[in-house]
Structure formats: structure tokens, C-alpha cells
Amino acid sequence: MKLPEIEILDEKDKRLHTISKDVSFPLSKEDKKRINDMLLYLKMSQIDKYREQYNLRAGMGLSYVQIGIPKRIFVVVDETDENVFENYVLINPKIVSNSEELIYVGEGEGCLSVNREVEGIVPRYARITVEAFDMEGNPFTIRVREDLSIAFQHEIDHLNGILFVDKIDPKNPYKNAENMREI
């Protein structure tokens, strides 16, 4: 497989704090190709052989704003079994409900735009329900939990101009951890 040419913005780039705009349909050919390239890039980043060959950091999600385009589109590639992947494409996503239970990633969240280790936790809902559109403009609703819930919330934050590091209290990076479940 050939790695798609995708340039991911670094956290220092002010464009990452842009609030993305809603997308209208039909999608352009360029957008469809870009979405498929993003999915392939993420998949390859999760396969050891390609990660080493192309010197990639493993990534699960990527939003349009991370490639410099402030449109409300994100993709998530979830490895459900070894080298078996489930692809998610969400356009104009909105969280319509969430659990009361909060969770956080024990080893800390990561981001393809943040090229450093970050201490601290980001409170996330354990379960969310999201309304969005697929690539053809069809509306759908999806309920996700645990890792996928975190990934979806992380990417929706990107669409709202928020990086996960913005949500960590610099004075107390593990603030309220006792009120959340570690995953």
C-alpha cells in the first residue's frame, strides 16, 4: 500500500483553533478522495509494518481541520481485531445525548497534531449518541461507548477548535480523577 499524502497540522498552528463550518451536499470528488485518503492513512498508521516503513505515529481519528480545512468532517478507524478495521465517517456531527458516567484514558490521550507526551487526563463521557451524515448526505444516528466515545468526542472537539491539551488543568493535571473511571 502507498501512504496517502496528508499533511497534519502541528498544535502550534493557529488554524487548529478554528471552529469548523457545516458541510453541504453533495460532497465534491476532492472531499470524497480526501476522506478515503484519511481513512487509509489511519489504517496504515495502526499496522506495524506500515507504521515502521513510513515512520508514522499510530492514530485512530483525524478531523478535516487537522489537515487545514475547517469543515465539520472527521473519520475514525477502529481496529476491532488484528488488522481488521471498522471505518467511521461523520459529517456535521452533533452529540445529542451522553451518559452521566465520566471516563478517561489512563495513559493519557494522544493526538496526531500534538507531537509530545502530555501529562494529565481529559474527562470524557463513557457513552454518547451522535447524529451525523454519511458521505452521500444520508442522516444517521450512532451510539458509541468507551474508546470510540472518547475518539468521537476528541474529534468533535477539533471541529470546535479545541485540542485535548486545552482541557487539561495545568495546575492539577489529574483533577477529579477519583470521580471518573480509567480505561
What is the C-alpha separation between 156 and 87, in angstroms, rounded?
Answer: 16
Q: Return the domain boundaries, the chain.
A: 14-182
If pLDDT is split at 50, 70 and 90, which confidence band does 98 have? very high
Residues identified as active-site: 155
Determine contact, residues 75/35, Cβ cutoff 8 Å. yes
What is the C-alpha separation between 149 and 143, in angstroms, rounded?
Answer: 8
Looking at the predicted structure, is the pLDDT value of residue 83 above 90? Answer: no
- Mean pLDDT, rounded, of the chain: 96
pLDDT on residue 120: 95
CATH C-level class of 14-182: alpha beta
Looking at the predicted structure, is the pLDDT value of residue 103 above 90? Answer: yes
Q: What is the pTM of this model?
A: 0.96
Parallel, antiparallel or unpaired: strands 181-182 and 102-104: parallel
Q: How does pLDDT run across 45-70, given as a tens digit for each residue?
A: 999 999 999 999 999 999 999 999 99
pLDDT (mean) for 120-144: 97
Burial (CB count within 10 angstroms: exposed 0-12, middle 13-18, buried 19+), residue 19:
exposed
pLDDT (mean) for 9-32: 97
